Amino acid sequence: MSALLIAPTGGGKTLAGFLPSLIELAEGSYAGLHTLYVSPLKALSTNIAESLSRPITDMNLPIRVEVRSGDTSGARRKRQQKNPPHILLTTPESLALLLSYPDASAYFSTLRVLIIDEVHALAGTKRGDQLALCASRLRVFSPSLRVNGLSATVAHPSAMAAWVSPTGQASGVRLVRAEDGVRPDVHVLLPDQRGYLPWAGRTGLGSATAILTEIARARLTIVFVNSRAQAELLFQALWKDNADNLPIGLHHGSLDAGRRAKVEEAMAQGELRAVVATSSLDLGLDWGAVDQIIQVGAPKQISRLTQRIGRANHRMDEPSRALLAPANRFEVLECEAAREAVLRHELDGDPPRAGALDVLAQHVLITACAGPFLPDVMYEEVRQTAPYNQLSRTDFNEIVRFVEDGGYALQAYERHQRLFRDSLGQLWVRNEQIIRQFRMNIGTIVDTPMLRVKSRRGKAYGEIDEYFASTLVPGDTFLLGGELLEFLGLHDTTVQAARSRGKDPRVPVYGGNQLSISPGLARHVREILHAPPSWAVLPKSVQDWLTLQAARSRLPGPENFLVETFPHRGLHYIVAYPFEGRNAHQTLGLLLTKRLEETGKGPLGFVANDYMVACWCVHPTGSMTDLFSRDLLGGNLADWLAESAMLRRTFRDVAIIAGLVERNYPGREKNRRQMTISSDLLYDVLRKYDPDHILLRATRLQAEEGLTDLGRLSGMLDRIQGHIEPVSLSHVSPLAVPVLLEQGREKIRGGDGEDYLLAEADKLYALAEKE
């Protein structure tokens, strides 16, 4: 029977998952692959392989363990294929690739156990969708396959159980839950300098000396941050003030694998006092005897914070110690709210959503690459997975047709299909070239391409975003792996760099989404803001800030809905404070700009964070009570949404994952002529001539997950009628400053606002010519 083990982080659950396999394999008569282990991180597989090898070698067991990932050499792959290990450790992407080969059915026919680690980090994501589909294939090759899922504590345990189940239903799975540990010890850590906190910013550099003091007081600390750039900056800031030369390391996903391994080893050996880390240390084994964690910057999600705090539990019977270091004023409120939520054992996060259709399209092609398939059989197979349990036959058919010939309405053009049907109704891939091409496209992670950074002698430092690399000129310096490097030049697909002493280094920007705060946490923040007596726990600079807001404008309270308007940089701004979380505010930003466009105000863009939304126009913005009226939701919202930058971004990812366009590999353009057409252009053409195309439907479905359902906004609009408090200011208010510094601005393109700016630029030229 399949099982799901739910236990707090670091409870040793991963190795527990292997015990039954080790026992079955110990007698030594098993031939072929017995156990497959899949985790979201390559590094985790390597690490587990080492942990498993020790007892196997010590006890002289006849068991072979191997890792398969994107880094595995061609020779080793061939050997693994010919002579399979007993236990293979891999990632969802490498497994998908294995399944695209015709010998997959023979290879996996001996498989008894599938171990899925970190289920909570996979379920509900596209990588998870892919893994669930791969698992359904494995069950076809080996019908008696057992699945053992391992998960951190989550808000929806039975949905997780369904996710590992062979039928997509929780009923077929044994659920094992470990007890919660001792209540953790959580405090908010304020920066020095009498608790001064900046307006905005997410780096928390001002807390460096306070963090150092805390590091010095413990044996081993993990300093968790929210982004790779923040990790680099904070690492530098800590070393600048590190008078005692405490050994502090750095760990993030863009560092060279060898360097990461060194840091992990040093942690395990007790040679480090602290490690600055991103989510790269969220998952996996205990890396050492961690005494405390410091979360720098907003924790964003209670469940994630709880998991991070769980890293500091090397003594099960003692409380984990955690410090939350806010990076700006709003984050103080958020840290305070998160601290209380963790102590109440709250968990957040939605149950896993339905499987994405673009991932299904990729799976259809993966299956076809391995051999012909019957659509009827495949449909039943796919529906045995939890993500695609509710998949309709129509959607499935349209996806298959998309893979087959594009599925376009315009198609009178019969030649060049990707799949063909034989007389038995089986579908085959048309030729080897398409198979080869497609295998390079497998995977559901859509990242900006990364370039390796090496010294002249070939020493690897790590990797940086291709776009960031393109902005560097020789002589520029940048931070990577905590080292200051000088950019020498670009050689093929490698960035050459040398250590440098230059000043003002740049920090590599990495793509990737910002986490949105959970709605529960946003509500807690609003409650603190509404109750001035509760401010006493806040640092003085934050109290002053809120007091200043009350004097210059108003405070958003439980009874009023504050909307500020003010001129700023030649534009007219509107800032509203609903405290409904970023997703709801994104939707509201779309609605507001739509209405402003309709009423001729020339909106140019909007930006949202977890607390508020701002939009700006070329013309004065008119009455706020009219703008925020109930019929804000009327009119043709679908069209406006379809035009938005958000949908275009979603489509880009869908197009890559579904195989509509090819991935961009840096350097590959040189070898062959590439068809790089902006996905925006494809999107526009598809909308115009094929509005019901399955990929557009997939795009809309996915975008809607990122936007709050309109029902909730409609409720908000009802609530605020009669309570809207417009405040007209001569300049930006204290509370609005953070949102204006927020990243992720959405532009309104091709509307009245842009027309106005173009006409204005033209007038300037006419004036200049007269003079």
Partner 1 sequence: MTFREITLADERIRLLPGGAVFLPDTKTLVVADLHLGKGTSARARGLLLPPGDTISTLEKVLRFVEAHSPQLLISLGDSFHDCQAGGRLLDSERTLLDRITRTADTLWITGNHDALPISGIGGEWLEEYRSGNLFLRHIPSVTIPSGSAELAGHLHPKTRIQSRGHVMSRPCFLTGEERLILPALGTYTGGLDISNSVLSSLFKHKAAAYVWSTDEIHRVA
Asked if 716 and 581 count as a contact pair (C-beta separation under 8 A), the reply is no
Of residues 601-620, which lie at the interface with partner 1 (CB under 8 A)?
A: 604-605, 618
State the nearest-atom distance from the C-beta of 544 to partner 1, in Å.
29
Of residues 317-356, which lie at the interface with partner 1 (CB under 8 A)?
A: none
State the nearest-atom distance from the C-beta of 107 to partner 1, in Å.
25
Closer residue to partner 1 in complex, CB, 458/570: 570
From the list 238, 686, 724, 737, which residue makes contact with partner 1 (rule: CB under 8 A)? 686
Distance CA 221, CA 232 (A): 17
Contact status: 765 vs partner 1 (CB under 8 A): yes
Closer residue to partner 1 in complex, CB, 550/685: 685
Of residues 577-606, which lie at the interface with partner 1 (CB under 8 A)?
A: 604-605
State the nearest-atom distance from the C-beta of 692 to partner 1, in Å.
13
Number of residues interacting with partner 1: please give it, by CB under 8 A: 51
From the list 193, 390, 676, 728, which residue makes contact with partner 1 (rule: CB under 8 A)? 676
Closer residue to partner 1 in complex, CB, 97/255: 97
Task: Give CB contacts under 8 A, 24+ apart, made by 484-490.
Answer: 485/453, 485/461, 488/456, 490/451
Closer residue to partner 1 in complex, CB, 327/732: 732
Distance CA 768, CA 771 (A): 5
Contact status: 681 vs partner 1 (CB under 8 A): yes
Q: How far apart are the first and last CA of the chain?
A: 85
Distance CA 508, CA 3 (A): 42
- In the numeric block, which tokens belong to residue 675? 């068809």
* Binding segment toward partner 1, per CB under 8 A, in 88-96, 378-386, 564-572, 708-716: 564-572
Distance CA 41, CA 116 (A): 12
- In the numeric block, which tokens belong to residue 501? 């002493």
Asked if 495 and 470 count as a contact pair (C-beta separation under 8 A), the reply is no
**Beta pairing, strands 477-480 & 483-491:** antiparallel
State the nearest-atom distance from the C-beta of 97 to partner 1, in Å.
17
Distance CA 172, CA 145 (A): 13
Residue 314's alpha-carbon distances to 22, 187, 357, in angstroms, are 25, 19, 42
Closer residue to partner 1 in complex, CB, 350/669: 669
**Beta pairing, strands 561-568 & 571-576:** antiparallel
* Binding segment toward partner 1, per CB under 8 A, in 154-162, 252-260, 278-286, 566-574: 566-574
Q: What SS3 class is residue 497?
A: strand
State the nearest-atom distance from the C-beta of 647 to partner 1, in Å.
16
* Binding segment toward partner 1, per CB under 8 A, in 116-124, 533-541, 625-633, 673-681: 673-681
Of residues 687-726, which lie at the interface with partner 1 (CB under 8 A)?
A: 688-690, 693
Closer residue to partner 1 in complex, CB, 121/369: 369
How many other C-beta atoms are found inside a 10 Å radius of the C-beta of residue 154? 20
From the list 102, 511, 677, 719, which residue makes contact with partner 1 (rule: CB under 8 A)? 677
State the nearest-atom distance from the C-beta of 362 to partner 1, in Å.
14
* Binding segment toward partner 1, per CB under 8 A, in 14-22, 274-282, 316-324, 755-763: 755-763
Contact status: 767 vs partner 1 (CB under 8 A): no
Contact status: 758 vs partner 1 (CB under 8 A): yes
Closer residue to partner 1 in complex, CB, 19/685: 685
Per-residue contact track with partner 1, 397 to 436, x per CB under 8 A?
A: --------xx-x-xxxx-xx-x-----------x--xx--
State the nearest-atom distance from the C-beta of 418 to partner 1, in Å.
5
Closer residue to partner 1 in complex, CB, 430/700: 430
- In the numeric block, which tokens belong to residue 580? 């409904």
From the list 390, 392, 437, 623, which residue makes contact with partner 1 (rule: CB under 8 A)? 437
From the list 569, 711, 718, 771, which residue makes contact with partner 1 (rule: CB under 8 A)? 569
Distance CA 589, CA 608 (A): 7
Distance CA 540, CA 734 (A): 15
Contact status: 770 vs partner 1 (CB under 8 A): no
504 burial (CB, 10 Å; 0-12 / 13-18 / 19+) is exposed
From the list 74, 458, 570, 620, which residue makes contact with partner 1 (rule: CB under 8 A)? 570
**Beta pairing, strands 35-38 & 274-277:** unpaired
Closer residue to partner 1 in complex, CB, 213/437: 437
Q: What SS3 class is residue 727?
A: strand
SS (H, E, C) 582-606: HHHHHHHHHHHHHHHHHCCCCEEEE
From the list 759, 767, 770, 771, which residue makes contact with partner 1 (rule: CB under 8 A)? 759
Closer residue to partner 1 in complex, CB, 194/569: 569
Closer residue to partner 1 in complex, CB, 194/415: 415
Of residues 438-497, which lie at the interface with partner 1 (CB under 8 A)?
A: 438
Q: What SS3 class is residue 742?
A: coil
Of residues 642-671, which lie at the interface with partner 1 (CB under 8 A)?
A: 660-662
Distance CA 333, CA 538 (A): 8
State the nearest-atom distance from the C-beta of 358 to partner 1, in Å.
14
Contact status: 24 vs partner 1 (CB under 8 A): no
Closer residue to partner 1 in complex, CB, 508/605: 605
**Sequence-separated (6 or more) residues with CB below 8 Å from residue 739:** 575, 607, 608, 609, 611, 612, 613, 614
State the nearest-atom distance from the C-beta of 405 to partner 1, in Å.
7
Of residues 150-179, which lie at the interface with partner 1 (CB under 8 A)?
A: none
- In the numeric block, which tokens belong to residue 240? 């600048």
The DSSP secondary structure of 468-491, one letter per residue, reads HHHT--TT-EEEETTEEEEEEEEE
Distance CA 280, CA 277 (A): 7
Which residues face 571 on adjacent strands?
Answer: 568
Residues in the chain: 771
SS (H, E, C) 187-253: EECCCHHHHCCCCCCCCCHHHHHHHHHHHHHCCCEEEECCCHHHHHHHHHHHHHCCCCCCCEEEECC
Angle between helices 645-658 and 694-706 (to 10 degrees): 130
Closer residue to partner 1 in complex, CB, 32/406: 406
Contact status: 23 vs partner 1 (CB under 8 A): no
Closer residue to partner 1 in complex, CB, 192/690: 690
State the nearest-atom distance from the C-beta of 769 to partner 1, in Å.
9
| Interface positions with partner 1 (CB under 8 A) | 405-406, 408, 410-413, 415-416, 418, 430, 433-434, 437-438, 569-571, 604-605, 618, 660-662, 675-678, 681-682, 684-686, 688-690, 693, 747, 749-750, 753-755, 757-762, 765-766
